[in-house]
Chain A
Amino acid sequence: MARKKSKKRASAGIVGFCCNYTVSVEPEMLKERGLVPEDVAFKRLPCTGRLEVPAILDAFTEGAEAVFVAGCQIDECHNLSGSKRAAKRVQYARKILEELGLQPERLEMVFVPRGESEPIVEAARELKMRLSTMEGRS
């Protein structure tokens, strides 16, 4: 049975799940300095390995247009395999998004060297740019 086409999604920006070791500066400072778009909401976790698939999906349900997960570099995770686990969950969540008719490109995993903010800034900007090209696609 064909379901109704999605309605236009309310724009609620980008949610970034970041592990404690990848966001070394206060996220608000990144916004104040104009480094990341205003509509990026950061959610800090002790480790991205703690992030479960429902939290990612719920972020979209609560209105996020895109989500990124920033974990330690794959071989340098503070908790050994946390970011590796997170990457697998992101992969599974992308599959579910696709089945639901949302572009999986709305969800991204980034691996960040400890103490560097630049990859997070880049991820936020890249997702913002992706969203602008996706407009009207779903």
Chain B
Amino acid sequence: MIIAERKSMNEILDMLDGVKKLLVLGCRGCVAVCSAGGDKEVEIMASAIRLGKKLAGEPIKIEATTYIRQCDPEYIEPLKKEGKKYDAVLSMACGVGVNFIADLCPGVKVLPGVNTTFYGANLSSGEWKEMCAGCGSCVLHLTGGLCPVARCAKRLSNGPCGGSQGGRCEIHPDTPCVWHFIHERLQEQGEADRLKEIMPIRDWSPAGDAGPRRRVREDLLP
């Protein structure tokens, strides 16, 4: 899922300077699962803004709601009209939601309530770890299912580097070296010979360096 984290209240209150009527808008997608922008976090944000504005002596009227998703047009549709009733809409969705609202709802001032950080997995309650970089050219079939793009600090295609010591990364010693794991995994699977092959220089063009990526499936188009 997409992982996000709440922006600091200082940053939030700065961007709400002059806002007197606000909609805090949550999303029940990824950000709800990672406890950054679902119903619960929307209520906390609304209460925190009320208190911050009161301390600053600035009146504000806040309403709060949560959409099923902010990355599908059918769920955003009501905001095209409703959003204009507010000075600003503070979206607690990932950056996709904020962008989508900005694209589809002209006349609505949308602001980000969270920082969108990475694609990750839930290790335990309150802990998430990056597992995918969305690079557009998956090599997991060659690496025992472990991603060297997302999980190697140097994004090496042929690792480990000389700095890997005792199975730990030299950049972040508290992080396991993913290439160490890849070697172990492929040996377990009887595919150690695969490591003798040099992976070619990576094609980064699907990774988004040439502007926003787009995918079209003709069979699903209306």
Q: Which residues of A contact B (CB under 8 A)?
A: 1, 3-4, 6-7, 9, 52-54, 57-58, 60-61, 96, 99-102
Contact of B55 with A6 in the complex, beta carbons under 8 Å: yes
Quote the shortest CB–CB distance from B138 to chain A (angstroms).
Answer: 37
Residues of A within 8 A of B55 (CB): 6-7, 9, 100-102
B54 CB → nearest A CB, Å: 5
For the complex formed, measure the closest distance between the CB of A60 and the CB atoms of chain B, giving whole angstroms.
Answer: 5
Given contacts A58-B51, A99-B8, 10 further A-B contacts (CB under 8 A): A4-B57, A53-B47, A57-B47, A57-B51, A58-B47, A99-B9, A99-B48, A100-B48, A100-B52, A102-B55
**Could you tell me if B50 and A58 are in contact, using CB atoms closer than 8 angstroms?**
yes
Contacts A53-B44, A54-B44, A99-B8 given; does A7 touch B50 at CB 8 Å: no
Residues in B neighbouring A96, C-beta threshold 8 A: 9, 44, 48
Q: Does B14 contact A (CB under 8 A)?
A: yes
Q: How far is the CA of A4 from the CA of B44 in the complex (A)?
A: 23
B1 interfacial by beta-carbon distance below 8 Å: no
The majority secondary structure among interface residues of chain A is: loop
Residue ID in chain A nearest B48 by CB atoms: A96
B51 touches A4 (CB 8 A): no
The 7 A-B pairs with the shortest beta carbon distances in the complex, nearest first, are A54-B47, A99-B9, A57-B47, A6-B55, A61-B51, A7-B57, A100-B52
> Are the CB atoms of B8 and A61 closer together than 8 Å?
no
Contacts of B13 in A (CB 8 A): 3, 100
CB-based contact A100/B57 at 8 Å: no
Q: Are A61 and B9 in touch, CB under 8 angstroms? A: no
